[in-house]
Amino acid sequence: MSALGPRDVDAAYAVRFSGDPRFQPWRSAMWRVLVEGWFSRWIAEDAVVLDFGCGNGEFLNAVTAARRVGVDFRSSRARGLDAGVEFICSDDFLLPTIESGSVDVVFCSNLLEHLPDRETVVAFLGELRRVMRPEGRLLILGPNIRYTGNAYWDFFDHLIPFTHHTLREALATVSLEVETMVPRFLPYTTAGGRRFPLWLIRAYLRFPLAWRLFGAQFFCVSRLDDC
């Protein structure tokens, strides 16, 4: 899934994110706000949701759905998932245990830029397409180098530059059609342990004009183009 091994990633993240014990609870609370205020509109309560690159499970733990599945290449991430969330440890971009056409919503946050090359990106997107139901949706969140500028490369595991335009073309290679594209959505990163007040995050989600000033991550919803 990444050009770096689990120990390499953990070491890099130890430098990147705050060691303050209050940071992780804040991050979980932040994701609850994001899910409630934005992502939940694409997730029905009876849906099957898969989060590829689930990390500590902040997104899945905040989601209400019939089935929640997290995938990560670090087995230690299973400890962060709530009871009832399934976990798959995979160091590849294949999902052999997930049936074709069985997932309603696939979520992928800040992952594509970590893949080693464009061929891997295409193969990975093709695998996500395979597991999606005909009416399913793929939700992708990630840094947009057009708006992050050189700060995109401040992270050792960022390998491939993405803009909202290159993402659209990558999706087209596996016959996924863009339904919603927000070039500037969330600010770039919470690295360094920055903890914004939750009321401010709620307000930010309600005012898209602010996204144009502070947003440096794209958000994209795509679907099978033969729907």
| Residues 187/213, Cβ–Cβ less than 8 Å | no
| Residues 177/221, Cβ–Cβ less than 8 Å | no
- How much is the pLDDT for 19? 60
Q: Element (H or E) spanning 166, and its range? A: helix 164-172
Report the C-alpha gap between 5 and 27 in whole angstroms: 24
- How much is the pLDDT for 53? 93
Cβ of 71: how many Cβ atoms within 10 Å?
Answer: 22
pTM for the whole thing?
Answer: 0.89
CATH T-level assignment (fold) for domain 6-48+66-211: Rossmann fold (3.40.50)
- How much is the pLDDT for 12? 45
CA-wise closest residue to 70 among 26, 107, 23, 20: 107
Q: Spell out the per-residue pLDDT of the chain, length 227, in tens.
A: 555 454 444 444 444 445 666 778 889 999 999 999 999 999 999 999 999 999 999 999 999 999 999 999 888 888 889 999 999 998 888 898 999 999 999 999 999 999 999 999 999 999 999 999 999 999 999 999 999 999 999 988 999 999 999 999 999 999 999 999 999 999 997 666 678 899 999 999 999 999 999 999 999 999 998 75
CA-wise closest residue to 2 among 141, 112, 95, 128: 112
